[in-house]
Amino acid sequence: MTIWPSPPALDEIRRRQAEEDMASILRGEYAELPLSRLSILLDHELVMMVSPVMKAGCSSPGGTVIGLNWTEKGADFMGQTLPPYS
């Protein structure tokens, strides 16, 4: 039973934006990623949220942020493979 409907297929413009956003996430440059574009990546299961992530130079709980990682589906979308977990 599916609770959420499948997201619509990505058109060419959104596919290019998704590729750019996925590359930004890989570089760790996603702080300014608009929520509307992040939701597309999440809806298509291309990325997952990882929490908490410590910011560099911060030792307090207030220094944690939500991180984003590629999913296997996201790696496939980008033509890459994820390394095995150790």
* Residue 3: count of CB within 10 angstroms of its CB: 4
Is this structure's pTM higher than 0.75?
yes
Q: How does DSSP assign 16-38, residue by residue?
A: HHHHHHHHHHHHT--TT--HHHH
Residue-wise pLDDT tens digits, 29-42: 888 899 999 999 99
Residue-wise pLDDT tens digits, 69-82: 999 999 999 999 88
Sorted by where each starts, the structural domains of the chain and their CATH numbers stand as 12-77 (1.10.10)
Query: What does the pLDDT read at residue 86?
Result: 43
The Cα–Cα gap between 71 and 45 comes to: 7
